[in-house]
Amino acid sequence: MKTIIKKVFEEDEPATSYIRRLSDEKAKDLVKDGDWLYSPKQRWKTEVRDANKKEESTQTKNKKNKKKKTEIV
- For residue 22, the one-letter residue type is L
Q: What percent of the chain has pLDDT over 70?
A: 71
pTM, whole model, 2 decimals? Answer: 0.63
Q: What is the pLDDT of residues 34-57, one digit of tens each?
A: 999 999 999 999 988 887 676 666
Confidence of residue 58 (pLDDT cuts 50, 70, 90): low
CB count, 10 Å around CB of 36?
20
- Extract the runs of DSSP E, i.e. beta strands, from 1-64: 2-6, 19-22, 36-38
Task: Give residue 10's pLDDT.
Answer: 87
Task: Give residue 55's pLDDT.
Answer: 63
Query: Distance between CA atoms of 58 and 64, rounded to whole angstroms?
Result: 10
